[in-house]
Structure 1
Amino acid sequence: MQPAYEARSLSRWELAGKQVPPLVTQIADGENGGVMMNEFPPKFMDVMRECSGSDVPAMGATEYLEHLFAMGIKETDFPAAQPIHQKRIWDRFTPSAANASKLPAIIEALKKEDHRFHMDGGSWTNDISWVKGYENVLGPMEKASSLFYERVLKRKVAESDPRYRNALFHLLCSQTSCFRYWGQGTWTDYGRELCRRAESIVIHDFK
């Protein structure tokens, strides 16, 4: 809900010589800040009523991009974006099959040169590692996801197959960041159990 109020305070931006309204999005699902638990659905309903028919409408990212493309803006007009510090990799590494084996050594060298450099993925908190101290839940998450890829996606199982939908449902339930950000204890136990169920379903249904 917060993006709606921020969007009202912003002016149009110039993109490819055209004035376009910016799209403001939630950084995550809001759950980690207690938004979903404490403000949904009443505040969501309030915001939707306020936005409807206004000059700051609610809009999905895909819908927003479609409007930009309809204005004549192309993908090549968008500014490039990449994770912080990632440029250091490309300064030393040229992607190619021949160079692939060199990448791990380059990454390790960069880690030793600067403690801020890592390949753990982004965190909306910035000062809290997404990985350190949570291997006991992130490991099962990765295992369940990898198993789904190997036994379901690679085999091109039809998305309409009830087995596919059941396995995907359990996999997605197991992948939420809530199992990481709420700390060790009950939430990590929930996460590991959902990963176990997702893994068991894939193994049982896709032998």
Structure 2
Amino acid sequence: ENRVHWLVVESDGESERILCVVRDTDMGIRQQSGQNADGCISDVRYRGQEVGMKSPALVVPTSDGENGNVMMFEYFKNSFAPLFRESDRWSDVGFLTVSQYIDTYLSEGSATEVRLKSIGGSWIGGHQQWQEGDLRQQVLAAVEKLSQHYAKVVESGQGSAEKTRALLLCETSCFVYWGSDFWAEQAKLFIEWVRAML
């Protein structure tokens, strides 16, 4: 956490490297419980000292509506938005996009290399929540099939940014994570929409 990594993904003898930025899990949990802007800044300062890097630490707070819970209704308006409205209050903390941080501080590359594991990488302790149950397996299989189909569409020269974004919407984590009929039905609707587009 609080570093930029090269994530190495290997499958069927092929290997790809992508930059990976890990959101701070502990901060995310506090933000879910309604942490205010000052609390977030205190966390950022602490994390920056804890990492012990020559360049400033990259601390990524939660910025989305995370599953419609208190972060959507409380954290974003009460904490995240004020961070930027009142940014001049914290002269020792810089506000950058991840791309700006990489361009400014990581011109020689990221600090570490990590390899993707099949278990134990989720903030809930493992990937079982994403894989167990017939409903989850059905959604995963349908999205995988759609992804393979889109790869062929791209190879034929018919891909587009709009189609790519649509496919990414089909990969929304809630469709699988909750394992519920509601989210599986939402996944089905999205998948049918993208199939029609392709």
Q: Note if 1:66 corresponds to 2:65.
A: no
Deviation at 1:26, TM superposition (A): 4.5
Change (3 A) 1:33 1:26: farther
Q: Which runs of 5+ in 1 are unaligned?
A: 85-118, 159-163, 203-207
Secondary structure, aligned partner of 1:45: helix
Secondary structure of residue in 2 paired with 1:20: coil
Query: Is 1:180 paired with 2:186?
Result: no
1:193 is matched with which residue: 172, 182, 189? 189
Q: Between Structure 1 and Structure 2, whose CA radius of gyration is higher?
A: 1
2:122 is matched by which residue type in structure 1? S
Alignment of 1:93-132 (within 5 A): 119=118, 122-129=121-128, 130-132=130-132
- RMSD after superposition: 3.1
- Equivalent residue for 1:89? none
CA–CA distance in structure 2, aligned partners of residues 183 and 127 of structure 1: 16
2:108 alignment partner AA: K
- Please identify which structure carries the higher strand content: 2
TM-score normalised by length of structure 1: 0.61
- The letter of the residue matching 2:172 is T
User: Displacement, 1:147?
Assistant: 1.4
How far, CA to CA, are the matches of 1:27 and 1:43 in structure 2? 10
Paired with 1:33 and 1:9, the residues of 2 have a C-alpha distance of 28
TM-score (norm 2): 0.63
How far apart are 1:198 and its partner, in Å?
0.8
5 Å matches for 1:1-207?
2=27, 4-5=40-41, 6-10=43-47, 11=49, 13-15=51-53, 19-26=54-61, 29=64, 31-32=66-67, 34=69, 35-52=71-88, 54-69=91-106, 74-75=108-109, 78-84=111-117, 119=118, 122-129=121-128, 130-133=130-133, 134-151=136-153, 153-157=154-158, 164-202=160-198
User: Residue 205 of structure 1 corresponds to which residue in structure 2?
Assistant: none
Measured in 2, the distance between the counterparts of 1:175 and 1:27 equals: 20
Gaps of 5+ in 2: 1-23, 29-39
Distance 1:150 1:37, change over 3 A: farther
Which structure's relative contact order is higher, taking Cα pairs within 8 Å and 6+ residues apart? 2
Indicate conservation of the 8 Å contact 1:32/1:182, yes or no: no
Question: How many pairs align?
Answer: 155
Indicate the SS of the match to 1:40.
Answer: helix
